[in-house]
Amino acid sequence: MTTLSVRLPDSLHRKVKVLAQQDGISINQFVTVAVAEKLSALLTEEYLQERARRGSRSRYEAALAQAPDVVPEARDRIAPGLAASRPAARSRYIHEESPAYEAGAAGDQEAD
């Protein structure tokens, strides 16, 4: 383990001390977790950018074309309130014979 000496403004140190006490951990643990969370966020962003660079629209569309075009099971359907803000979802995923469609049909028609 490495020892790191950090200079913090007094106001920041006070806030860290209070938050660490509230969590029942030491300031060292608090700072360690904060650094780990920041690293995780930065590395995740780098990872996603790299994945995006390797992505291929044609491969995505080919994979999507293999998925069956069926009405989702009831537990997988988008709720009527959410579907109103998504025209494609509203028309494709809320089946006209489902209770979800009937419950949201009036509101959906107004959104069209």
Domain hosting 50: range is 10-58
Put residue 35 in one of left, alpha, beta given phi > 0 → left and psi -120 to 50 → alpha: alpha
- Does residue 103 lie in a domain region? yes
- Predicted confidence band of residue 7 (pLDDT cuts 50, 70, 90): very high
Same domain, 21 and 51: yes
Q: In this structure, what DSSP letter does residue 17 have?
A: H
Q: What's the rounded Cα separation, in Å, for the pair 10 and 46?
A: 33
What is residue 90's predicted lDDT score, i.e. its pLDDT? 42
Tell me the pLDDT tens digit for each residue of 30-89. Answer: 999 999 999 999 899 888 989 889 989 899 899 999 988 888 888 888 887 776 665 554
Same domain, 28 and 54: yes
Please, is 95 exposed, middle or buried when counting C-beta atoms within 10 Å of its C-beta (0-12, 13-18, 19+)? middle
pTM: 0.47
